[in-house]
Structures are given as structure tokens and as C-alpha cells.
Amino acid sequence: MRVATDIGGTFTDIVYIDEQGKVCVNKSHTTPPDFEQGVLNVIQKCDISPEEVKDLSHGTTVVINALTERTGAKTGLITTKGFRDILEIGRGNRPDLFNFNFKKPKPFVPRYLRLEVEERMDYQGNELIALKEEDIKTCVDTFKKEGVEAIAIVFLHSYINAEHEKQAKALVEKLMPGIAVTASHEVSKEWREYERTTTAVLNSYVKPSAKTYIDNLYNKLEEMDIKCPKYIMQSNGGTTTFENAKEVPINMVESGPVAGIYGSAMLGEMLGENKVIAFDIGGTTAKCSLVDGGEVKTTTEYKIEKNARFPGYPIRVPVVDIVEIGNGGGSIAWIDNTNSLRVGPKSAGALPGPVAYQKGGTEPTTTDANLIAGRLSPKNFDMDVDMEKVRGAIQEKVGDVYGINTEEAAMGIIRVANSNMLNALKLVSISKGYDPREFALVAFGGGGPMHAAALAKELNIKKVIIPLAASVFSAWGMLMTDLRSDDIQTYRVKLDNPDFDAINAEWEGLEEKACQDNARKGISREDVYFQHYLDMRYIGQDHTVKVKVPNDPMSAENISEFIEAFHREHEQNYSFRLDESGVEIVNIHLASFGRIEKTPIKEAEILPYSLEEAIKEIRPVIFEGDGTLDTKVYDREKMSPGMKLEGPAIIEEVSSSAVIYPGMKASVDKFGDILIETGV
């Protein structure tokens, strides 16, 4: 049996697949601040024998929570003399050029804890000034006095020669045993010192809390006699061991969300759809990502907390290219100072939750609005729902403000939420040169199936795929992944007359290192496979485009394939290409995978119910443009492959509801997924 657990803002999910390929799911409420308890609770709700568990994968929000809530460790920075203010200076470009009240991001390390040492490498990695160890000792003395809990070491040009960083780290660990230390070359070997510094600092900042969390989870799982190999989901779309995750926790910054993206790619492959947009609505956020040709795209341009007015904090590690907005089931509806209705980004979360949860919540949320619209049923909640309280909150906070009734106010909340989500879907498709009409929309999470059909219609998307167990699909995605690690090395070379032997030797060195790393994780060499990427640009440009290139050695015979791949990717991203301009490589990027044995997914069983017998009830549901319609509500657990129906309809399961609009058709495929034809 293979098991995966995923912690969300509101619920903790579990998916497990037995030896016959049968998929079972469950969920439990998330338990902040002791998140590992939610994992134990959801495991205990299931009929799982510890000795049958072959491996366990886990997705967690502990890293992103520590960053956004500023609950990480007190961190110090040791850097090259003259560069202590790199975090303060940052980048000159900013998203909101005409904002006279603009403020730069506040560094995670205050200036008095940013200390300098004498050392220097040049841009080719040659030593100019030897590391002065007395300076390191002085830094350590200061950190001890100030009660520093974690240290980042970032020296200029260490991406090309890390010898000084290695010496400094060894000395710090000797002088401060047990301290969490990150040397920048361990997390990023790319140039751009500001981005490399923030990445190293943020890794150190979350390292103690991540280690505590992982150790607690590991020990409690062991106490439950779950002694199988344990993996954690990374932001790059692959998994890693618990031990490795403790050393580089920044790789878990988007641990939970990306599993659903990867799962969408795998599901698309199973259904013959290699172009999909993954769309995940949870309790707190909505997330989406585009999969083209079956490939999950990654980026090293990721920034936390970036928005239209704030540049955010760059993290220079591979992260699945994902757009995330504060719009989920628990997102609060509110009126701004211009008397406009807004939904999110503030969320009611798991506590107090929507008004419907009756845990003290008083602010109306998207979930409450969907209850009033009839898209959710109070009978489908695992607690008593006081509909009068829900109606009262929406009427007081929204309806009375605009002089409208409760139903109109609820639909206003839903329309604003849909508008926010639509913008996110456009950011991953239209804004990047992709036509959404060529893609299928894979909708999952607790709220994805409820909003997907309306959004697909707006974007003229023909097909919506709602996976089996949609509300826990991110956990399912983890069971489809392999171990993954990324090695990115700055390696500048112009392609007008390259040294092919030197370039290929660089690839071979990275591949050999990857095989050795996987061997330490118990993966044999024959189960390791690679994907090659190059960060390329036109000569004279500043920034690069990541290009997937052939794994074959580069040669005079095939170099045109590499250059053409760059031209195509550049045109896709920026709508133009410069065929006459010279091209250069800036970074070599090797993605290595350790293959994990997977259980084939079993086709869904034919159940002894007809379509009519699957109808739970007929209830009034409000649809935009059509008003209130008597709508058949189907029990998904009684639906079998081959069943077909027409909208208006709702298909309910324990933790989500799929809304099929009038004029749309829905069917159940052989794996139990719901396929909606939008009719556009």
C-alpha cells in the first residue's frame, strides 16, 4: 500500500492505493500550530495496517507558513566585506513604478546581524583574498551574544568556487555546534548575488522549524509502526527524503500545491490530454498552472509575497510555475473604502472558518455564498449548519450595504470570486502566449469542481476534467511522482563557436553527481533518468529563457536544434524571435529523477445503481443568467463509468460538489473521473 498525505489551510487529506490499484481517500481538519497531529488524525480515520504501508509521501505548508507569518528563526548573515547591505539594496526594478509610497521589502535579517568577513573570489573563481578566519570567529561571538538561531553564509562568486564558503561553514559549525547553517552554494549555484543571498537566508530562516516539524512527524509515524521509506513533496514537482528536506527546506516552499499540478499532468496523460490547465481551489487559496505537451513547467524566478505593488522576495530554486491567489472556500467577502465588494485574500481558514462551520466565524465567505446559492447542501457538512446565521451574515455584511436581498448578495460574492480566479487562469495562459481553447481544465480541491464550469465557459475551454476524489487530488498527485533533484550551474558560453567537449563534460559531471546522490537514497543507477534544460538568451540581453533541450551530447551536427528550441521558447514567451542574433548559454540545469515503483490505477467498478437511483434530491439552485432552477443532485458514490447526464445538475461527494450549468453535458469515464463538455 502506498500512502500520501497533504496539509491544506483548512483540511489535511490522505490518499492510499492498495496492491490491486484501488484508490481510497479521507480527510480531517488541519490542526494548527501542531500540523503533524492533523496527519496522524487522518491516518487513524482510515483502515490502514502500518505493516502494509510500502511508502509514505507528504506535502506540507510548514515552510510557506513560517515565511508569510514571520515565525522562523532569528537569523544572521555572514558575507563578503562590502556586501552586507545587499538585502537592503535589492533590485531597482519594481512592479508599481508610480507609487510614491513604495517601500522596499524589509530584509529577514536586520542590519546588525549582517556581518562581513575579509575574503574574495573573482568572477572566474580565482582567489583574490584568502578567507580571514579571525573574522569568522568575531562573527560567531556576535551571534552568540545576540541569540542567533540560524546562520546564512553568502560569499561573492561562490557559485563558481565555493571553497571559502565550505571553510567558513566548517568553522561556524565547530564554534557553534548544532546551529542551523546554510552556505549559499548548497541551495543555489546561479549568479545574481541578491537572489542567491535571499535564497540562502530564507533557507536558514525556516531550517530550525522545518527540522522540528519533520522530526516530530517522523517520530510519531514510527510510534504508529509506520516504518516504511518516507518522502516529502518538493516545489519542483518531485519528492525527496525526510533527511534531505531538513537540509534544504526552502525546496518545500510550495510543497503541497505542486503535487496537484503534477497529478494533473499524469491524469491528462492517462486520458490522452497532453495540454491541460491545472486548477486547484482549497479553503484558503486558488492555484493554477499550465501543462503543455505533458511537461510541468518549472521556474527559478519564483518570489514569495509578490503582487502588483510589492516586488516580493526571490527564491532561486526550481519551483513549478504556478499562480496563486487568495481566493478559496474560506475567503472573506468585504467592502473596501470605495464601497466595492471584494473577496479575499483574507481567509477565515480552519479556525474560525466560514459562518457555516459554527466555530465563531462571523464574516461571510465563498462557502457561505455557495450554500445560499444552493450549490452546496447543509446536509453534506460534517457539522450542523445554521442557515439562518449564514443568511444573516451575508445580508448584514453585503446585502444591506447595497440594498439587495440575500440571494443577490451571495451571487455577487460568487461572481467576484470567479472574476479573481479567471484573472489567475489568464495569467498562466493568455498572458504567456497560450490559447486556453486548446487546453482541458483539470479542476480539483474542495472548491475547484464548483467553480470550474463557469470559468471554462468564460475562457471558451471545451472540456473540464474533475478527477475521482477531487478534494484530495493533490495527495493523489504525490503518489504519481518520482524522487527529483535539480542541479543548476552558471556556465556562460556563446554558441557561435562553443567548446562541445567542455559543455558535454559539464553535463556528464552533473549526471554522475546525481547518480551518486540517488544511490545514497537507495535508487540504483538504472532507475535514474534525466531531463536537460538550458537557461539561454540573445547576446546583449540581461535575463534568460529556460529551454528544454535534447539529452544528447551537443555537437556541430545538432547545435541548430538547441538554438531553434531557444528561438521557439523565446517567441512563445515574448511573441518575437531574433534569428540573426547570437545566442548564449547562461546556466546548465539538470533535473534528475529516481524512479519509484508505482501501482497502476484500477479502473472504476460498475456499481448496482442506475442514473435515476443516483439522484439524491432535486433542489433549487441559482445559476448566473438563468435564475433559480430546480436541479437534480447526484450522489457521486453511486455513479459508474459510462453514465451521462445534462445540466443543470450537481454531482455531490463527501467533500466537494461539481456544478454542471444548463446546456452542458457530463459523463463518467472508466477511471471514475467526471468529464464536462461546456458546449462552447
Q: Do 586 and 655 belong to one domain?
A: no
Within a domain: 361 = no
Query: In this predicted structure, what is the pLDDT of residue 506?
Result: 96
Radius of gyration, alpha carbons of the chain: 26
Q: Do 173 and 140 belong to one domain?
A: yes
The band of 171, judged by pLDDT with boundaries at 50, 70 and 90, is very high
pLDDT per residue over 532-556, tens digit each? Answer: 999 999 999 999 999 999 999 999 9
Q: Do 79 and 174 belong to one domain?
A: yes
The total of structural domains in the chain comes to: 3
Query: In this predicted structure, what is the pLDDT of residue 103?
Result: 86
Within a domain: 148 = yes
Q: Do 187 and 91 belong to one domain?
A: yes
Question: Stretch 612-628: mean pLDDT, rounded?
Answer: 95
Lowest mean pLDDT among 94-108, 388-402, 484-498, 511-525: 94-108
Domain that holds residue 668: 612-677
Mean pLDDT of the chain: 93
Q: Which residues pair with 303 in a beta bridge?
A: 314
Within a domain: 503 = yes
pLDDT per residue over 412-444, tens digit each? Answer: 999 999 999 999 999 999 988 899 999 999 999
Q: Which residues pair with 13 in a beta bridge?
A: 6, 27
Q: Do 577 and 628 belong to one domain?
A: no
Q: Do 549 and 628 belong to one domain?
A: no
Distance CA 201, CA 199 (A): 6
Q: Do 554 and 648 belong to one domain?
A: no
Please count the other Cβ atoms lying within 10 Å of the Cβ belonging to residue 31: 18
Query: In this predicted structure, what is the pLDDT of residue 416?
Result: 96
Q: In the listed set 185, 204, 223, which residue is the last one of a domain according to the structure?
A: 204
pLDDT per residue over 308-331, tens digit each? Answer: 788 999 999 999 998 888 888 889
Query: In this predicted structure, what is the pLDDT of residue 521?
Result: 87
Q: Do 666 and 549 belong to one domain?
A: no
How many Cα atoms occupy the beta-carbon half-sphere of 673 within 13 Å? Answer: 22
Within a domain: 22 = no
Q: Do 89 and 198 belong to one domain?
A: yes
Alpha-carbon torsion angle 656, 49, 227, 3, nearest 10 = -20
Strands 230-233, 180-183: pairing is: unpaired
Q: Which residues pair with 591 in a beta bridge?
A: 486, 531
Q: In the listed set 204, 239, 273, which residue is the last one of a domain according to the structure?
A: 204
Within a domain: 126 = yes
| 44 contact partners, CB below 8 Å, separation of at least 6 | none
Q: Which residues pair with 623 in a beta bridge?
A: 627
Within a domain: 322 = no
Distance CA 568, CA 465 (A): 29
222 pLDDT above the threshold of 90: yes
Instruction: Give the SS3 label for residue 618.
Output: strand
Q: In the listed set 204, 220, 241, which residue is the last one of a domain according to the structure?
A: 204
Within a domain: 546 = yes
pLDDT per residue over 272-313, tens digit each? Answer: 999 999 999 988 888 999 999 888 889 998 998 887 788 999
Cell numbers found for residue 220: 510519531
Q: Do 101 and 165 belong to one domain?
A: yes
Q: Do 135 and 197 belong to one domain?
A: yes
Q: Do 647 and 583 belong to one domain?
A: no
Q: What is the distance, to the nearest Å, from the Cα of residue 191 to the centroid of all Cα atoms in its chain?
A: 24
Query: In this predicted structure, what is the pLDDT of residue 433?
Result: 86
Place of cell 480541491: 445
Within a domain: 552 = yes
Distance CA 596, CA 521 (A): 11
**Distance, first Cα to last Cα, the chain:** 42
Tell which residue, 6, 4, 636, has the closest CA to residue 377. 636
Percent of the chain with pLDDT over 90: 75
Question: Stretch 607-626: mean pLDDT, rounded?
Answer: 95
Query: In this predicted structure, what is the pLDDT of residue 202?
Result: 98
